[in-house]
Amino acid sequence: MNTSQAEVIKKCRNDLQKERIVKSVLCGMAVGFSVIFIVAFITWIFEFKGLWLSIGLGVAAWIGATLLFYFVLFSFTDMEVMKRIDRAGLDERMVTMYELQGDNSYMAQRQRADASAAFLAAVKKSGGHLIKTKIATAIICVASIAGTVGAGMAVVTGLSDYGVIPTLYELFTDDSYGGFGHGSNVPTYTVTYKVGGEEEGGTIRVSNSDSDVDKVKKGGVSSARAVIADGYYIEKWEDDKGVEYYPEIVGYQPTQFSADNVQKNMTVTVVFAKYDDEDDSGFSYYYNPDNDKNQDGPDNPDGPDGNGDQPEQDNGDQTPAPPMPSGGGGSPTAPGNTIVDGETQYGENYDAYYALAMDMLANGTDGYPPELVAMLEAYFGILL
């Protein structure tokens, strides 16, 4: 075999190698997407978040199957290369020449000459492309079907994971989806409450219960209450999606949390934080004039015992900090502008609170910008 023939045969081998790669990838794809479909379907049935699990296992199966097909099922030998060349119209001349290699008999030499002539004619006729890439129709069909159903099932389980569509169990048991259930099979979810941040800052329990785990029917409401330890406050509430809920009023820390329309298992964390100065918790107390009925109010610096005692701090279960009137102002007797017991109009005790606020601003503003102090003084001045 001369040099030109050897080069053509080498090119035929490379063409056959490309066909081998394509077939291996397509077959591996069929296996991988089949795994995605099976895992996604199973997790959709059992209400397990299986999107990333199915994708991960599917990709691993795709890679593993591709390597298996490439090195085992679609590998080829030199004889198979010659057989593919013979399909170009050489009538097994190349196979015979390959079998007689090393034989220098007259008949072997005549056969090699005949095969070489036929080979050159076939190369000229095909333009140098004796082997054309051929992928079986069955492989293409199987890969296409597996890819479609596997990707579709992955989308379904993904939408189910994020609560966009119901699970298969819900479709058959929940009346709200037109299933075959009778109300008693409505799924029950678990809402777990836990403490974060300064863990010694308090405790949290499900409302009307001593447990920190609440069992809620689908679409139900779960609520919890937090008990704050002295010297601490609630910085925020946070759910397992990372959504944070902060107090709406500075100094006012809600001790209640409510999760409406529960659609899945979830975890809610209350984050406690510690005041910088335990002896002075800023605005974490309020003045109650009822505690000083014998006083003239904060305007009397001597008080009933003449020692100038400040109003007592209330670190009990009362809501820390006086509720601000709606809208930041308005009539002191307008509906909703109440404090302490929900009935007392804030205007009745405004003078006492105003004097207390001015005293706090006068004695505790070191380090605060003058503009902030002036803004607070102006705010209290326009409440009435």
Percent of the chain whose pLDDT exceeds 90? 17
Q: How confident is the model at residue 294 (pLDDT cuts 50, 70, 90)?
A: very low
Q: Is the pLDDT of residue 328 over 60?
A: no
What are the tens digits of pLDDT across the range 51-96?
Answer: 999 999 999 999 999 999 999 999 888 888 888 888 877 888 888 8
pTM equals: 0.45
Q: Which of 184, 156, 160 is nearest to 264 (CA)?
A: 160
Binning pLDDT at 50, 70 and 90, where does residue 23 land?
very high
Quickly state the pLDDT bin for 319 (edges 50, 70, 90).
very low
Helix (H) or strand (E) holding 106: helix 106-126
Residue 281: pLDDT band with limits 50, 70, 90: very low
CA trace torsion 200, 202, 205, 211 (10° rounding): 30
E-strand ranges in 222-265 read: 222-228, 232-239, 244-245, 256-259
Q: What is the pLDDT of residue 30?
A: 96
Question: pLDDT-derived band of residue 332, with 50, 70 and 90 as boundaries?
Answer: low
210: closest CA among 230, 189, 224, 195?
Answer: 224
Provide the residue type at 70 as one letter. Answer: Y
Who has greater pLDDT, 109 or 6? 109
Question: What is the spatial distance between Cα 76 and Cα 88, in angstroms, rounded to a whole number?
Answer: 18
Going by C-alpha positions, the residue among 155, 169, 152 that lies closest to residue 264 is 169
Residue 215 host element (H or E): strand 213-217
pLDDT at 220 over 80: yes
Q: Identify the three-state secondary structure at position 344.
A: strand
Q: Select the more confidently predicted residue: 270 or 355.
A: 270
Give the number of other CB atoms < 10 A from CB of residue 6: 10
The band of 137, judged by pLDDT with boundaries at 50, 70 and 90, is very high
Cα–Cα dist 228/197, whole Å:
13
Mean of the pLDDT values across residues 192-198?
87
- Which span out of 26-35, 226-235, 302-311, 354-363 was modeled with the highest average pLDDT? 26-35
Q: What is the pLDDT of residues 158-177, one digit of tens each?
A: 988 887 888 877 777 655 55
Kindly state the average pLDDT of the residues 257-264: 84
Q: Which helix (H) or strand (E) holds 246?
A: none
Residues 340-355, mean pLDDT to the nearest whole number: 68
Provide the percentage of residues in the chain whose pLDDT is more than 70: 69
Q: Which residue has the higher pLDDT, 53 or 246?
A: 53
Query: To the nearest whole number, what is the mean pLDDT of the chain?
Result: 75
Edge-first strand order for the sheet with 266-274 is: 213-217, 188-197, 266-274, 232-239, 244-245
Model confidence at 286, in pLDDT bands (50, 70, 90)?
A: very low
The whole-number average pLDDT for the span 189-216 is 86
Mean per-residue pLDDT, 320-329 = 41
